Chains A and B, each alone.
Chain A
Amino acid sequence: GAGVSQSPSNKVTEKGKDVELRCDPISGHTALYWYRQRLGQGLEFLIYFQGNSAPDKSGLPSDRFSAERTGESVSTLTIQRTQQEDSAVYLCASSLTMDSDSPLHFGNGTRLTVT
């Protein structure tokens, strides 16, 4: 596709439910990143994928958060037993390579609201 696509764009869920967020990166981009942005704040790094591998999971806030990527393409971020503090915009980004000069291209995000 032309850009990074995320779905759903908005998700309202009840506390305690599980949610799954999807990211379709730009075709051919090897690196994929998940960030979280709380209202009025900066971007908080969650996890990155190099191909289908996630070498560093230390940014995930708790063990309720998990992510996977398949076929060096689509990635899903799963939040189990959602809490109100999980409410945020979840942004996915991809880059062509892992080189330091390769910019990240972001999707429009999924706005998650936990009631």
Chain B
Amino acid sequence: AQKITQTQPGMFVQEKEAVTLDCTYDTSDPSYGLFWYKQPSSGEMIFLIYQGSYDQQNATEGRYSLNFQKARKSANLVISASQLGDSAMYFCAMRERVTGGGNKLTFGTGTQLKVEL
């Protein structure tokens, strides 16, 4: 069975520092996609960044980058220059195939990030 593991239930970081949120995954599919979402206290789910299993380079999107280590099956999110507005729950997710030829996102349990002054 495919699954996503986020081992850090909570993280603290000081403003302007960088922080790494861990994510490991387990799949037997050679083709998959990895996503990170941010969920502020308002509850909306905000797409941050995507990494494809065949991508040669680590994905970057502004202050977000993904440290993709395929052999270790890890896809850690790095947030540089943290801001107070980064305080939120962060979910790692993997796209997996489902019956009928479609796919779905399977989510980890999330990491609650708190940015402090």
Contacts and interface: CB of A to CB of B under 8 A. Distances in A.
- Place the interface of chain A in its size category: 20 to 34
Contacts of B35: 103-104
Nearest to B100: A55
B2 to A, nearest CB: 12
Contact of B98 (A42, A56, A103): A56
B105 interface: yes
Contacts, number: 68
Interface string A21-58: 00000000001010000000111010010100101101
Interface residues of B, number: 28
Contact of B101 (A89, A91, A98, A104): A98
Contacts of B95: 100
B105 A89 contact: no
Given A93-B45, A104-B47, A50 B100 contact: yes
Interface centre among A50, A91, A100, A106 (most CB of B within 10 A): A100
Given A55-B100, A58-B99, A89-B43, A101 B33 contact: yes
B102 A55 contact: yes
B113 to A, nearest CB: 15
A48 B107 contact: no
B32 interface: yes
Interface centre among A41, A48, A89, A91 (most CB of B within 10 A): A48
Contacts of A105: 47
6 contacts: A33-B105, A43-B93, A48-B98, A48-B104, A104-B35, A108-B44
Interface of B: 31-33, 35, 37, 42-45, 47, 50, 52, 91, 93, 95, 98-110
Ranked nearest first, the 3 interchain pairs of A and B with the lowest CB-CB distance are A55-B100, A106-B45, A100-B33
Given A41-B109, A45-B106, A50-B102, 16 more contacts: A31-B102, A43-B93, A45-B105, A55-B99, A55-B102, A56-B102, A58-B99, A98-B101, A98-B103, A100-B95, A100-B103, A101-B33, A101-B50, A103-B50, A104-B47, A108-B42
